[in-house]
Amino acid sequence: MSVQQKVIVDGLSVPIEGERNLLELVRKAGVDLPTFCYHSELSVYGACRMCVVEIDKMGIVASCTVQPQPGMVVHTNTEKLRTIRRTILELLLANHDRECTTCDKNGACKLQELAKRFGVADVRFGEEDLDMPLDRSTPALVRDPNKCILCGDCVRVCGEVQKIGVLDFSHRGSEAMVGPAFGKQLADVDCVQCGQCASVCPTGAITIHSDIDRVWKAIHDPKIKVVAQVAPAIRVALGEEFGHEPGWAEPGKVVAALKRIGVDMVFDTCFTADLTVVEETAEFLERLVSGSRERLPQFTSCCPAWVKYVEQYHPEYLPNLSSCKSPQQMFGAVARRFLSRELGVEPESLFVVSVMPCTAKKFEAARKEFAVDGRPDVDAVLTTQELARMIRETGIEFDKLPIAPFDLPLGVSTGAGMIFGNSGGVAEAVLRAAAELLAPEKKSGMPQTQLVFEEVRGLEGVKEATVNVAGNEVRMAVVSSLGAAAEVLRRIESGEAVYDIVEVMSCPGGCIGGAGQPSPSHLEVRRKRTEALYDVDTMQMLRRSHDNPYIKALYDRYLGDVGGETAHSSLHTSYGTRRRIAGEDIRFSAEEVDGRLSVGVCVGTCCYLHGSYDLLRGLMDRVNREGLTDKVDLHATFCFEKCEHSPNIEIGGNIRSNVTSEEIDKIFEEEILARLVE
């Protein structure tokens, strides 16, 4: 047996067992070194300097940046280290908006916690630089730069996990700050509003845009009937807010709590998840059986951050997105259109609130596709955290609540709907359905078709499986995080991988790791929530969406056929291209002359990559050569949202797509000169 390699931490001998850095080893030894910028799932940043330790012969170093070496003698608690940690806290506090009582993160703030732990009693410096405006531009998130401690966690989660990079640092010295490009607001850039930045933010610098007040207002309005839907991932996480271990699952408590705070009826998003499975499976089988691979692989569309991502970055795959609305929006549509009739209330007096693990669902609910005459199908979206806050506000003792059942008819669901909260859940639910639908004529006494598809379970970013569904080989990929999605798309594009169906969830681990979930939400927590959700599934009598009797009833009474006309108009939608950054046109002639012919050349990313600069230069040359600068208003513009047909140019309001530089002279003569002659 080889001699175990050890590090001495405060006199204790601690074995090296593959720890990636000294910080993890010290924590294993039972010393909770403080940090702001260390996250086990992100790259090491080494900036907050709170995790400093003294190592014999090395001096003071940040433990997160050091590899454990055998024989290292490490001290974690010395006078010098205490001075450094306290001073750093004091320095951070000095430039921090210390109005803790009104801060959204009050009680959950890392800075507050550590200041308390270290007993920082006095801040010796004057406050400054705290008048930066808040960014409330999106329905999902609020950014308050005055509370940012520049730990860079948000920058790294967006750049490394989601590979989008909406947030980054700008400016130098004490003016350094984090924000979107060009000082823009989140709504004006390519943020998909997944909220992972808020989920890792140690302070109140990025928080969830709260809908609590709107929900209270509806609850307290006697003329309004408030109905709630509860997403699957809530039932395995809400308990964490009330002191339970991650994975503690009691759906009945969630229902009881919602009822006690005044919601009239509580339904289950798992019901519409079943509905989604039914519709999406039909859609998939149609694409699969049709033989043409044109719209394959089929991508799931349950995740609104993913949908926005495709709209912005991969419009060429829009036809591959399932046209099914997400379970949240299916619920909204069913509630507004049919439940109101069932309950005998006017659709307008129904207030639909959903409880979601997700911030992007707030964005989804506000999308214009999901509104009828301006009234959104889903009126408000509460995250798990917001629901917990409402429960606490009422003073209800969560643990003492008796459990209560979901209401009928939209409260009954199968195990297939439940596992939607896990990465791989949608895929598995569709597989269960497909296995059944494609199975040869069942005779009584035949063994059940397959229920569990282990291949698509687990917390890895990409899971691949070829599953035999009733004799058909279905090649699938299950993806969680947009960084992983980008890689899978690259492989599809290059032909390295061929799939029939691809499930994408934007958050690591799927919805159970959503940004609306209680904090912390690291890998171990996510694992427990995932397992709990699979446990809930096994306890269900019904585990295939098609077996849900209330789904059958819904089709019988209102929807007609699966995939039929009513089903389609209520439960399906379509998406379009979306510009990534809001920007003003760049004009090339100084003076404004009215009545000029407008000629715009898109210089957005897709058009740029397809040669729009050459088009612009060609047109500019012609306009200058012909001396038409006072007749033609040539300008560069950002995105006509026809990225799949790039490059695009606009001439007097008409958009020409797929323009090549060879065509420029012809276009100039036939469409610009000719119009000027008119």
Residues lying near another protein in the complex (CB under 8 A) = 44-49, 52, 60, 62, 65, 67, 80, 83-84, 87-88, 91-92, 94-95, 124-126, 149-150, 152, 168-169, 171-176
Comparison of 45 and 406: residue with beta carbon closer to another protein = 45
In the complex with another protein, the residue whose CB is nearer, 46 or 600, is 46
The smaller minimum CB distance to another protein, of residues 148 and 615, is found at 148
CB of 82 vs another protein, minimal distance in Å: 11
Rounded to the nearest whole angstrom, what is the least distance from the CB of residue 304 to another protein in the complex? 30
What is d(CA 326, CA 420) in angstroms, rounded to the nearest whole number?
Answer: 11
First-to-final CA distance of the chain: 93
**CB-based contact 176:61 (threshold 8 Å):** no
Catalytic residues: 280, 283, 302, 322, 361, 364, 369, 511
Quick one: 82 or 217, whose CB is closer to another protein?
82
**Nearest CB to another protein, comparing residues 55 and 150:** 150
Q: Which long-range contacts (CB under 8 A, 24 or more apart) does 589-598 make?
A: 589/629, 589/630, 589/633, 589/634, 593/630, 593/633, 596/630, 596/631, 596/632, 596/633, 597/631, 597/632, 597/633, 597/651, 597/652, 597/672, 597/675, 597/676, 598/633, 598/635, 598/650, 598/651, 598/652, 598/653
Tokens (6 digits) for 397:
């003792």
DSSP summary character for residue 321: B
Distant-in-sequence, close-in-space partners of 9: CB < 8 Å, separation ≥ 6? 25, 26, 29, 31, 74, 76
Question: Which helix (H) or strand (E) is 566 found in, with range?
Answer: helix 565-571
- Other Cβ atoms closer than 10 A to 245: 10
Smaller CB distance to another protein: residue 140 or 150?
150
Closest CA to 503 of 280, 234, 286: 280
Is residue 648 within 8 A of residue 613, CB to CB? The reply is: no
Assigned token pair, 104 = 């959204």
Q: Which two tokens mark 527? A: 């694992």
CB-facing half-sphere around the CA of 278: CA atoms within 13 A: 30
Strand-pair category, 73-75 with 6-9 = parallel
CB of 84 to another protein, least distance (A): 5
The minimum distance between CB 111 and another protein, in angstroms, equals 11
Cα gap 401→392, rounded to integer Å: 13
Least distance (Å) from another protein to the CB of residue 160? 13
Q: Which is nearer to another protein, 62 or 515 (CB)?
A: 62
Q: Which C-beta is closer to another protein: that of 150 or that of 599?
A: 150
Cβ 83 to another protein, closest distance in Å? 7
| Start-end of H helices in 15-170 | 22-28, 79-94, 110-117, 153-156
Q: Which residues pair with 635 in a beta bridge?
A: 587, 600
Within 10 angstroms of residue 490's Cβ, the number of other Cβ atoms is 11
Neighbouring C-beta atoms of residue 354, cutoff 10 Å: 31
Q: How far is the CB of 579 from another protein (least distance, A)?
A: 24
Residue whose token pair is 């209800």: 396
Name the minimum Å distance from CB 155 to another protein. Answer: 10
